[in-house]
């Protein structure tokens, strides 16, 4: 043990030393490095085509997988479905998350705040797949909702395996993430600002529209970007609630890797997904800024 302590003392001097910040970064840099290596490998695979006779990949590089991806109609279908779904889910989620976060931050009742926090964190202990299968039970033809409708004489409705079901599942999955990112931004808004607006004659809606929402903009932007990117790359909800008929890009990539064994084409779709997501996030950052994802504000921005 003394020898181990001696080695540790040399590697990590008492008080930390000048290398401490860099040593603390090693785990994070290692994880990012592994992701970069994986992306490079995927990029290499995307340039190799699959020989259907031998099921071996070509040794020569070509853009055939990208040409095929951009020439087939289903690629544009899944990209459009994924992008449209991501935008719709982001808008609905922010509309629902804002009042929830506002209530959780501003309520005077400790009991109400604890109840809202418990309801917020419970989904994280259940898991996305389990929640999706739970909605299968609730929304199915013999589910709770259709059984209740049958009691009042309404025929069973097709609530599953369609695009609205996927959107619904994604919204309820993304809601806790949005609330968690909005809550700090709303907490940073002094209550005195709202009181001052009220003393100047503004009603509650005017205060919300002209004071709270503008000051909560960083939180709205940050949570919106997180929800957008998570939705764009989601796999479980389209697969389970969509029933295989409402695939997003991630589902198409899975099919190419594990069903058709065409890793080259699947890798090309992966690169297209990364490029699409990066482009969307880049446009959002250029238009609205980084919000709470930014490390800080410059002096000019504060002014």
Alpha carbon distance 131, 244 (integer Å): 18
In a domain, 61, yes or no: no
Burial 221-238 (b: 16+ CB within 10 A, else e): bbbbbbbbbbbbbbbbbb
Q: Residue holding tokens 């084409």?
A: 265
In a domain, 217, yes or no: yes
CATH of the domain at 261: 1.10.3720.10
* Backbone CA torsion sign across 154, 158, 160, 162: negative
Alpha carbon distance 279, 214 (integer Å): 26
* Backbone CA torsion sign across 96, 99, 100, 101: positive
In a domain, 167, yes or no: yes
Alpha carbon distance 85, 164 (integer Å): 9
Q: Token pair for residue 6?
A: 């001696």
In a domain, 193, yes or no: yes
- Alpha-carbon Rg for the chain in angstroms: 25
Chain centroid, CA 28 distance in Å: 20
Question: Taking Cα atoms as reference points, which of 159, 167, 123 lies closest to residue 139?
Answer: 159
User: Count of CB atoms within 10 A of residue 129's CB?
Assistant: 13
In a domain, 6, yes or no: no
Domain tally, the chain:
1
Whole-model pTM: value is: 0.85
In a domain, 253, yes or no: yes
Residue numbers of the domain that contains 117: 74-298
In a domain, 204, yes or no: yes
User: Residues with Cβ < 8 Å from 180, sequence gap 6 or more?
Assistant: 120
User: Tens-of-pLDDT digits for all 303 residues of the chain?
Assistant: 667 666 666 666 665 566 677 777 888 999 999 999 999 999 999 999 988 777 788 888 999 999 999 998 989 999 999 999 999 999 999 999 999 999 999 999 999 999 999 999 998 888 888 999 999 989 988 888 988 888 888 888 889 999 999 999 999 999 999 999 999 999 999 989 988 998 888 888 899 999 999 999 989 999 999 999 999 999 999 999 998 889 999 999 999 999 888 899 999 999 999 999 999 999 988 888 776 666 555 434 434
In a domain, 258, yes or no: yes
């Amino acid at each position: 043990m003394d020898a181990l302590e001696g080695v540790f003392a040399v590697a990590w001097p008492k008080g930390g030393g000048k290398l401490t910040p860099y040593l603390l970064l090693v785990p994070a840099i290692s994880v990012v490095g592994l992701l970069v290596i994986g992306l490079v490998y995927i990029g290499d695979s995307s340039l190799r085509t699959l020989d259907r006779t031998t099921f071996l990949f070509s040794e020569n590089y070509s853009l055939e997988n990208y040409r095929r991806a951009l020439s087939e109609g289903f690629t544009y279908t899944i990209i459009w479905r994924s992008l449209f779904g991501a935008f719709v889910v982001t808008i609905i989620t922010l509309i629902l998350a804002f009042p929830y976060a506002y209530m959780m931050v501003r309520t005077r009742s400790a009991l109400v705040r604890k109840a809202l926090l418990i309801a917020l964190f419970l989904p994280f202990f259940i898991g996305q797949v389990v929640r999706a299968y739970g909605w299968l039970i609730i929304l199915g033809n013999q589910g709770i909702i259709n059984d209740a409708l049958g009691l009042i004489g309404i025929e069973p409705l097709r609530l599953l395996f369609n695009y609205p079901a996927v959107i619904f599942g994604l919204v309820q999955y993304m809601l806790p993430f949005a609330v968690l990112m909005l809550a700090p931004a709303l907490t940073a808004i002094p209550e005195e600002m709202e009181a001052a607006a009220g003393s100047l004659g503004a009603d509650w809606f005017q205060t919300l529209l002209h004071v709270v929402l503008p000051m909560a903009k960083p939180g709205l932007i940050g949570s919106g970007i997180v929800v957008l990117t998570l939705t764009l790359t989601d796999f479980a909800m389209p697969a389970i609630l969509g029933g295989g008929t409402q695939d997003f890009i991630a589902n198409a990539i899975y099919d190419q890797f594990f069903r058709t064994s065409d890793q080259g084409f699947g890798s090309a779709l992966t690169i297209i997904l990364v490029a699409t997501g990066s482009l969307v996030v880049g446009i959002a950052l250029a238009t609205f800024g980084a919000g709470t994802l930014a490390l800080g504000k410059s002096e000019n921005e504060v002014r």
